[in-house]
Amino acid sequence: MNTPTPSHRILRLIVGFLWLVLSLFLCGPAAQSLTTRFNLLTFEPLLEQVFLLILLLLGFSLLNNRAPVRETSALPRRSTTKQEWSRGAALGWAMLLVAMLPMALSGSLHLSFTLNLPTLGLTLLSLATIALTTLALAVAFRGYLFRLLIDATSPTVATLIVALALAAASVHNANSTITSVLTTFLFSVLLAITYLRTHALWLGWGLHFAWAAATAVLFGLPVAGNASYTSILSTDTTGPALLTGGPYGPEAAAFTLLVLLAAIPVLYRITRDYEWAYTHPPIIPAGYPMDIAPPAAHTAMETAAAAAPAPLVQILGSTPTAASTLPVIDDHLRSERNP
C-alpha cells in the first residue's frame, strides 16, 4: 500500500471533518423519525448515538482506503483491552469521587432515593446511552481524525486544537460557565493523553464512561449541563456554583480543575506498560548483515585452489622395520630379507 502524501492526509482530514459534521446533522433526525414511527420516543437518545457511531465507523473506514474498522478507529483487539478499559474506568470513578468530596463535606448534596421498575429500566437505558455517547465521542475526536491531525502537525498541537475546539463548542451547552469551559479543555487534554499513551481508545473510553455514568446515574447530577438521564437517585445541590457546579454539574466546579490536573501524573503512571508495549517502534538488532559478498582476493584464492591438481599421496609399506621383541619373529624377518 502506498504511503499517503502530506497533501493527501490534509485532504482526508478535511473530508473526514465534513463527514463528522454531516453525521452529527443526520443522526438526530434519523433517530427521531424512527422512534416516532414506532412510538419508541424513550429510545431516541440511544438510537441517535447508535446511528452516529455507525456513520463514523463506516465513513472513516472508507476514507482510510477501506481499512478494517477497528484499525481505522483505534479500537484494536489485543490481550490488554479489558484491562485498559477497567483501568480507565477506575481512574474516572476515582476522579469523580474526589471531585464530589468538597460537596459532601460541606453538606451541599441532598440525596433522595426512588426505586421502582420503570425507574430502574430507564436507568439501565441511560447507562447504555452514556456508554455509546462516550464511545462515539472517542471515535469522533480521538480516533482516525486525531491521527491525521497528528500527522499534519504534532501530538501536542493536535491535542491543543481538539481541546480548544471542544471547549469552544461547550459554550453552547446549557448553563455553561467560564469554569465549565476550562474543565472541558482540561478533560479533552486528559482524554487525548490516554490515546497518546496507548494508541487505542479503550482506556479513554472507560475513563469518560465512568465519570459520566457515575455523575448522572449514581449521583443523579447533570453531565455537562445535560440533566436528561434517569437515575434511582435524585440529588439537589446547595451552596456556591464554584463548589457544586450548579445546574451544569460537577464539571463547572472549580475544584474539578484541580482534580483533572492531579489526574495527569496518575494517568502517566498507570499507562507505563502500555506506552512501552504499544507506542515505541520495535527494537531491531544492530550489526552487519551476513549475506554480503566475500572480498575479491578471497574469492580468487578459492578459485585458484579449486583449479589446481590434487596432490599425490605416498603410502608407505606396512612391513615393520624395527626389531621385534620375540626371537621367532626376528628369525622369520631375517629369512624374508635373505632368501
Q: How crowded is residue 218: how many other Cβ atoms within 10 Å of its Cβ?
A: 18
Percent of the chain with pLDDT over 90: 59
The answer to whether residues 224 and 248 touch, using CB atoms and an 8 Å cutoff, is: yes
Interval 184-205 mean pLDDT: 97
Asked whether the predicted pLDDT for residue 36 surpasses 70, the reply is yes
* pTM higher than the cut 0.85: no
Tell me the per-residue pLDDT of 61-77, one tens digit each, with 9 for 90 and over. 999 988 999 999 999 99
- Beta-carbon contacts of residue 64 (< 8 Å; ≥ 6 apart): 12, 71, 72, 144
Tell me the per-residue pLDDT of 98-138, one tens digit each, with 9 for 90 and over. 999 988 888 887 777 777 788 889 999 999 999 999 999 99
**Structural element, H or E, at residue 21:** helix 6-37
Give the chain's mean pLDDT. Answer: 87
- Cβ burial of 333 (10 Å; 0-12, 13-18, 19+) is middle
pLDDT given for residue 233 in this prediction: 77
Asked whether the predicted pLDDT for residue 178 surpasses 50, the reply is yes
**Structural element, H or E, at residue 313:** none
Tell me the per-residue pLDDT of 272-322, one tens digit each, with 9 for 90 and over. 999 898 987 766 665 555 566 677 777 777 777 777 776 666 665 555 555
Rank 107-121, 180-194, 216-230 by mean pLDDT and report only the highest. 180-194
Query: If pLDDT is split at 50, 70 and 90, which confidence band does 1 have?
Result: very low
Block residue for cell numbers 459532601: 104
Interval 8-21 mean pLDDT: 91
